[in-house]
Structure 1
Amino acid sequence: MDKENFDDEFEKLWNETPSSHSEDVKKASWEEFHSKTFSKKKRKSTPWRYLAAASVLLFVLIGTGIYFNNESENESVVVAENVIENLTDKIKYVVLPDSSKVELTPNSKISYGTDFALNRKIEIDGEAYFKVKKDKQHPFQVFCDETTTTVLGTSFIVKESENEEVTVELFEGSVQMSIKGQDQKWILKPGEKFTYGNKTASVAEFSRFIDFDNQKLSVLCQYIEKTYGYKVNIPKENLDQNITIRINKKEDLKTIVQLISEMYNLNFEINEDLKQITFQ
């Protein structure tokens, strides 16, 4: 199965209606939620992290039209009903219920609620590249430590370092940055990077492109292999030909492959099982 068909099947799974829960499960979930939420001891984690145990309860409340909304923008509750973690040493590709896509870096994790299509809030631990589907009626929010990234449709990277410094790099579109407990907001443009650490925020430029200036095609093939993990086979007579091109560092692989095909009048085949691209 190729990646496109895989994505379609994966998306269908997300859209399936979850099964009903028994009364015993609902009761146990409520008791655990109540004991944790109203505990006298303050927890370091944000409220929406430890509300994961209340997911069954919220199903009942939402089903009856009852909900609570007394949090500020940076304290909105996210019920972590769905948790996806990348425990491998390779990038994990995820399709969210709203058709947005995520490239999850190894040792990273994302969490989001069952009503994600209508309430597009997601938490990240680690690093991930987001390609967000446009939906002006439902802004897409990414929570990382004390920062919130709000978007309508764009592509960007969010990552948190070991010393809890959060960095957001914008490749396309526009995002709004905010910090918990602060009124100030930052609007990023493509090519800008927002950094927050030690209670200090800053915005700077970063290079979102990589340039190949009159370099051999073999160099571009090496870049594809290193960046995307696909072995590239190309006729020997083309390897020493020169190419000048600028590529967005998060460009879709197929776009690059099609460009090479047109420039050098070559046919190509992508083998997803072998992670191999063959030009001829």
Structure 2
Amino acid sequence: MDKEKLDDEFEKLWNEAPSSHSDEIKEASWEEFHSKTFGAQKRKFKPWRYYAAASVLLFILVGTGIYLNRTQETENVILASNVIENTTTKIKHVVLPDNSEVALSPKSKISYGNNFALNRKIEVTGEAYFQVKKDKQHPFQVFCKETTTTVLGTCFTVKESQEKEVTVELFEGSVQMNVKGQDQKWILKPGQKFTYGNQTASVAEFNRFVDFDNQKLTAVGAYIEENYDYKVTIPEEYSNQKITVRINKKEDLKTIVELISEMYNLNFEINEDLKQITFR
């Protein structure tokens, strides 16, 4: 059997992996296996089909096939050349070298190495919300205490409590959770949270949405002011308008503003310097 036929046979067997493994996972693992086994040999590329959920960011989970058959790297090997700490009382927004974004809560900090774009490992102390830039070749790993969150691109919060518990809440996509010294892995879906403390891990549901059921439009304005720290001005004639809407608690601010604008045929202006939103 020549190399091309052998290649096709290996790929055929690879596709018979458990159905619980997504097409994206199969592709990433097959690419890794193929590169290690056949080196620079050329082969036909067969893209995997998948459906993408309509959300702010998309996620592709890394870790199956060869990857899941070896022990997940949970050692926090980070050369902390860059340390960013939020000493203010408001959320601090940070853009990382790979263009991923972090909303860093007060009294929290992150640290990462100078080669972050190629080695995307970051350590969190306190609480941080991540919007990860998708990069299939460079998995994004967040270390907090003994836990490791591995992703390629998604939206999630990592929080360390005063009781030394670590909680990861997933808003979009999927993430794989690992605990140092343990072989078990936990795969989270949107709306699930992973908690680890006192050598015990658990997965539970949480409410990732806020609902406005036939409430005044000004209630949404108040929500924006409280959670995004922007002053909202709504025309007086719209102050008693009612709205029914469900908003992801970590939704992009501009998405919410555009939604209100379209629903009520209003124009808007966002003043970043004054942190003010004006509807007209």
The two structures have a TM-score, normalised by structure 2, of 0.74
Which structure 2 residues correspond to residues 191-210 of structure 1 after superposition, within 5 A? 191-210=191-210
Q: Which residue of 1 aligns with 2:184?
A: 184
Three-state SS of the structure 1 residue aligned to 2:106 is: coil
Question: Aligned residue for 2:228?
Answer: 228
Q: Is the 8 A contact 2:108 2:126 kept in 1?
A: yes
Partner of residue 173, structure 2 = 173
Higher relative helix content? 1
Taking the aligned partners of 2:186 and 2:208, their CA distance within structure 1 comes to 19
Q: CA deviation at 1:272?
A: 1.0
| In 2: Cα distance, 1:163 partner to 1:192 partner | 21
Q: Give the 5 Å matches for 1:1-280.
A: 73-280=73-280
Task: Please state how far the C-alpha of 1:274 moved relative to its aligned partner.
Answer: 1.1
SS at match of 1:78: coil
Aligned-partner Cα distance in 1 for 2:147–2:232: 39
- Please give the secondary structure, in 1, of the residue aligned with 2:137: coil
CA distance in structure 1 between the partners assigned to 2:196 and 2:127 by the alignment: 15
Rounded to whole Å, the distance in 1 between the matches of 2:249 and 2:77 is: 33
Report sequence identity in percent: 77
Supply the distance in 2 between the matched residues of 1:240 and 1:231 (Cα, whole angstroms). 18
Q: Secondary structure at the match of 1:75?
A: coil
Give the Cα separation in 1 of the matches to 2:160 and 2:128: 10
What SS class does the counterpart of residue 109 from structure 2 fall into?
A: strand
AA aligned opposite 2:170: L
Q: Which runs of 5 or more structure 1 residues have no equivalent in the other structure?
A: 1-70
RCO higher in structure (CA 8 A, sep ≥6): 2
> What residue identity is the alignment partner of 1:209?
F
For the Cα contact (< 8 Å) 2:72–2:178, is it kept in 1? no
Q: In the alignment, is the contact (CA less than 8 A) between 2:72 and 2:183 conserved in 1?
A: no
1:119-165 deviations in Å (ceiling 9; x for gaps)? 00000000000000111111100000000000011000000001110
* SS at structure 1 position matched to 2:221: helix
TM-superposed deviation, 1:231 = 0.7
Give the C-alpha shift of residue 211 in structure 1.
0.6
TM-score by length of 1: 0.74
Q: Secondary structure at the match of 1:85?
A: strand
Residues 166 and 76 of structure 1, relative CA distance in 2, 3 Å threshold: closer
